Amino acid sequence: MGLKETMEHYLYSGEKKHVAAGIAIIGVVFAVPWYFMTRGSKHQSHQDYMDKADKARRERLSSGHTSMK
């Protein structure tokens, strides 16, 4: 059996162990990038985000008024 036939057997057999292995492989493929993207970031609440956005908006608007004088 060649590599192609072996892979087709695993993909299309529907055996429980092959399905479980496929789910595990897909899980790892998605989990590794997710882990690296989120490991350095501090999780913020929605309220923290809104407070930051309001502060930035106020600063932007107040600096806009002083430059127009």
Better-scored residue on pLDDT, 69 or 31? 31
Radius of gyration of the chain (CA): 26
Segments forming the whole domain that contains residue 47 = 3-68
Q: Two tokens at 19?
A: 């399905």
State the pLDDT at residue 56. 93
Residue 69 has pLDDT above 50, yes or no: no
pLDDT per residue as tens digits for the range 6-56? 989 988 999 999 999 999 999 999 999 998 888 876 667 888 889 999 999
pTM: 0.51
Classify 2 as helix, strand or coil: coil
Amino acid at 25: I
The set of residues, in sequence order, having a beta carbon less than 8 Å from that of 18 and lying 6+ positions away, is 10, 11
CA distance 31 to 56: 33
pLDDT per residue as tens digits for the range 57-68? 999 998 866 545
Domain count, the chain: 1
